[in-house]
Each structure stands twice: as C-alpha cells, then as structure tokens.
C-alpha cells in the first residue's frame, strides 16, 4: 500500500506534462511545403539563397530577369522559378516528399483522403484531368497537383500567383 500513492503521483505527473513535439532529426530529408523546399524559401532573393547554399544556381534555359527556372547544386529533384530575382515557386520531380503526404502516382480519391480540404478543378489541357489545390492559411501560397484522370502526375508549390501558372518560365 505504501507504493500506491507514489505510483499515482508518477502517473499524474506524467499526464500533466504537455506532449513535446519531436525534434527534427539532423538528417531529415527536405519536404516541399507552403514555405519552400529545405533551405530554399519562397520570397527569398536569389543571391541570398545562393550565399546560404554556398553555390550559384544553374539556369535552365534562357536566364530572363523577368522569369527563369533554376536548379541548385546539391538539391536534387526540384527546380525553382525566379521572378525579378525572387524565388516564387518550386516544381518537384516524382519522389520528392511534400507536407501533404501526397505523391505522384496517388489517385484523386487517395489525395482527397490525405488532404480533405483540397480544391479540385478541371485541367486546362486534359479533359479527364484535374488540378488539386491546397492553399496556405493566409491564401498567399499553395501546393498544386496535376492529375490526368488516373493519378497525380505533377506537384508544385509556391507563392500566388506564380504557383498557379499552368506553364513555367521556359
């Protein structure tokens, strides 16, 4: 009987502490989100990102100051839109993780189960396809997926209006 009060006290103490979020692991893989991808944040100036990464970006196609697409050495599977020197969007290759947990190859139904608040609209070029849009809380950014009538084929994220452009700068 002497142990019962001590055991009850330990249980109460354990229950009274708020759960702590898990600390991110040092080797955690980057995730495409409303804010950016890894160390690249939407709204950041290109020279600042290059300095942060310690590497110059590589232009994909013509380097137009109004709008161009770039990659960064060491960041695989993602290309970034740069408008007037500012990172505004990221287009991800299949296999790049995103904060919604939706992947290329997922069906429309599977995507809606993972993110029930997705807005679904018609695709501009594919009669059977759709655009699936998850907007940030303030509506200034989004994650947009393209679906061909069977499965998710493309995923991008970024600031409005750049993320909503059907085409890239190329």
Rounded average pLDDT over 39-58 = 97
Q: Report the distance separating Cα 110 and Cα 152, nearest Å.
A: 10
Domain ranges of the chain: 36-164
87, containing H or E segment: strand 86-92
What is the distance between the terminal CA atoms of the chain, rounded to a whole angstrom?
A: 76
* pTM summary value: 0.83
Lowest mean pLDDT among 25-29, 63-67, 70-74, 162-166: 25-29
Tell me the C-alpha to C-alpha distance, in Å, between residue 109 and each of 72, 74, 130, 131, 137.
34, 34, 12, 13, 23
**Check: CATH 2.30.30 for 36-164?**
no
Over the stretch 108-154, which tens digit does the pLDDT of each residue have? 999 999 999 999 999 999 999 999 999 999 999 999 999 999 999 99
Q: What is the pLDDT of residue 62?
A: 84
Beta-carbon neighbour count of residue 161 at 10 Å?
Answer: 11
Instruction: Tell me which of 76 and 15 has the higher pLDDT.
Output: 76
């Amino acid at each position: 009987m002497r142990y019962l009060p001590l055991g009850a006290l330990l249980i109460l103490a354990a229950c009274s502490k708020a759960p702590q979020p898990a600390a991110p692991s040092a080797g955690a893989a980057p995730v495409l989100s409303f804010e950016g991808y890894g160390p690249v944040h939407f709204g950041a100036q290109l020279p600042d990102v290059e300095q942060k990464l310690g590497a110059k970006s590589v232009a994909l196609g013509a380097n137009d100051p109004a709008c161009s697409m770039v990659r960064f050495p060491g960041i695989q599977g993602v290309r970034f839109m740069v408008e007037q020197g500012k990172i505004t969007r990221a287009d991800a290759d299949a296999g790049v993780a995103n904060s919604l947990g939706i992947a290329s190859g997922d069906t429309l139904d599977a995507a809606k189960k993972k993110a029930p608040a997705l807005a679904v609209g018609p695709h501009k070029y594919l009669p059977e396809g759709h655009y699936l849009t998850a907007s940030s809380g303030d509506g200034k950014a989004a994650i947009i997926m393209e679906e061909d009538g069977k499965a998710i084929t493309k995923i991008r994220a970024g600031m409005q209006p750049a993320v909503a452009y059907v085409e890239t700068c190329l």
